Amino acid sequence: MELMQKALNPLLGKHHLAAFRRAGSHRHHSWVEVQDTQCYRQGPFIHLEIQANGFLYGMVRLLVGMLVEVGSGKRSLHNFTDIWQNQRRELVKYSAPAKGLCLLRVGYPDFPLSSHIWFDTQPLFCFRGDRENVRAVME
């Protein structure tokens, strides 16, 4: 888990994240501003939270797939960083299952009727397992 957070830290800021965009995207660019990342354990679950100004098509699932590889020792931190910084999409092989993904919050900080409006949800699925056997399960 510590390696996963270390891998997330350099993603903070505005970056060209084409390595984490699936085919079929209609977006004309791959710039994303990652504002915050959290990786923590709660009971048997590992939680990954990523806050950004938007997400690319398939980005979170591809990113989590790579983070699982880093956390399990199958991929080095250097290799992970090299792949996204050099937009090497062909080296991103594993996509985390969709059933493990949940939207936690949608925010509109510049919404004209209020200074901050946030819509919160509660996660239904989280990743569970050890280095060898990670799966998404209902919480």
Give the CATH class of 2-19+32-138: alpha beta
pLDDT of 52-74, one tens digit each? 999 999 999 999 999 999 999 99
Q: Where are the domains of the chain?
A: 2-19+32-138
> Strand 125-129 to strand 105-108: parallel, antiparallel, or no bridges (unpaired)?
unpaired
* pTM of the predicted structure, to 2 decimals: 0.77
pLDDT of 71-122, one tens digit each? 999 999 999 999 999 999 999 998 998 887 888 877 766 666 554 555 555 5
